[in-house]
Amino acid sequence: MGRLLTLVVATAIGAIVPTGLDAQIVDYAALGDAFGEPITTSVTGKPQRASEAPASITIISHDEIERSPARSVPDLLKAYAGIDVNRWTAGQSDVAVRGGVQTYNARLLVLVDGRQVYLDHYGMTNWNLLGVQLDDIQQIELVRGPATALFGFNAASGVVNIITTNAGSDPHLGATAELGTHSYTRIGGSFTIPVSPTIGLKVTGGHQKEDERAIPGALYQPPRTLGIYADQVSATLAIQAGASTSIELNGGLTGNRQLEFLPSQILTEQRFRNQTAGLQVNHDTNWGNLSGRVYTNWLQADYGITTPISDPYSSVADLRTSNRITVMSASALVRISAADTLRIGTEYRNNQLGSDSLFSHRIGYQVAAVSGMIDIRPLARLSLTGALRLDHLWLGQGGAGSTSD
């Protein structure tokens, strides 16, 4: 195990350290205008037209998002064929690809700028914890069907990759305010400022609230649910470290309270708080591209809040948990010829869940993975893509009344 961890860390460091090699942060808007259709890098690692990607992929562009009346990402997705969305409450939705939607869909991997927001230990995606505003989304890439060889073991039925706008060198300021029935309010905004000719800073934030329903006391206690809310603030610092290397530092805070249907259809109130921090580096060479990423998500979840209505901040939860996931990954995209590429990569993740209410104070897992993909075009009208990924999983637990392996 020690040797394997050393190999993974060394590989990640090797992809992060610049070696004097024209890396630019991908400008999806400019590339889309140049090619006349949306551009994706999610599948093969190289920019390519959505129509040429070796996967069943739909790209929802920034213009389509602006024209849509949708107020959330699930509302956007349900307008597309093959996507089923159940909106259980104002704060809880479930999304499924090609049928099979259920409470807490565990088969759809959700990413924001390549960072996982799918909650491993809970087997679900909390769509109110995405940490992005609709106005800040550049495009949403929707991959239908199993994609585990390309994206990892959580992509059993599909992938939703949300890509936000770049922290570019041009100043930008935007704000949105909405009002609706059931005391619905949403405010959001973002600004981008050039710190220097090679450094750009983007900050986004928002607040959304809705008093969803009043439930008779005979059916639910307390008789009136608390307001559903979602708060978000995030920042990205983009650095162009020479012609060949780009660096992004990002972090964010999100929190929400929601009325939630459990798989047993019991109605409860939940509260989630999430923090994230990450680093991404891209480095171009004469033969291809090196990239490295490391990020950590910290999640605190209170299940079954029994808060007095008069004091919404002194809640007592029936179940309180904390979850921390750290992911390190590195990849090399090698140009074999003008149209053929090879991508190799490695990934290590460490996920730990802690609670005094579980059978063990701490349960967790570690995963080490290696992957490879080749994309070749032997003929002008024929392309072949093959992918392979190997994962090795370790499970463990610790704490009073348990044993650790």
Q: What is the pLDDT of residues 34-51, one digit of tens each?
A: 656 677 776 666 677 766
SS3 90: coil
Task: Look at the pTM and tell me if it is higher than 0.85.
Answer: no
Q: What is the pLDDT of residues 137-150, one digit of tens each?
A: 988 988 888 888 77
Cβ contact 237:203 at 8 Å: no
Q: Where are the beta strands (DSSP E) in 181-266?
A: 184-196, 199-210, 228-240, 245-261
Q: What is the pLDDT of residues 75-107, one digit of tens each?
A: 899 888 888 888 887 778 888 887 767 777 888
Q: What is the pLDDT of residues 377-398, one digit of tens each?
A: 888 888 888 889 999 999 988 8
Give the CB-side neighbour count of residue 290, counting CA atoms within 13 A. Answer: 17
Q: What is the pLDDT of residues 311-332, one digit of tens each?
A: 343 344 467 889 999 999 999 9
Instruction: Average the pLDDT over 116-133 and give the result.
Output: 84
Q: Which sign does the torsion angle of CA 40, 204, 89, 297 carry?
A: positive
* β-bridge pairing 267-284 and 245-261: antiparallel
SS3 371: strand
Name the phi and psi angles at 177, rounded to 5.
-140, 135
Return d(Cα 36, Cα 59) in angstroms, integer: 13
Most confident of 152-156, 166-170, 304-308, 345-349: 345-349
Least confident of 112-116, 134-138, 253-257, 400-404: 400-404
Domain residue ranges in the chain: 2-398
Give pLDDT, residue 266: 65
Among 157, 147, 155, 143, residue whose Cα is nearest residue 100: 157
- Token pair of 304 as six digits: 């079954």
Give pLDDT, residue 358: 76
Return d(Cα 322, Cα 274) in angstroms, integer: 10
2-398 CATH pick, 2.40.170.20, 1.20.120.160, 1.10.3720.10, 3.40.50.300? 2.40.170.20
Which residues, listed in sequence order, are joined to residue 366 by a DSSP beta bridge? Answer: 350, 394
Residue bearing the bigger pLDDT, 405 or 16: 405
* β-bridge pairing 56-61 and 245-261: unpaired
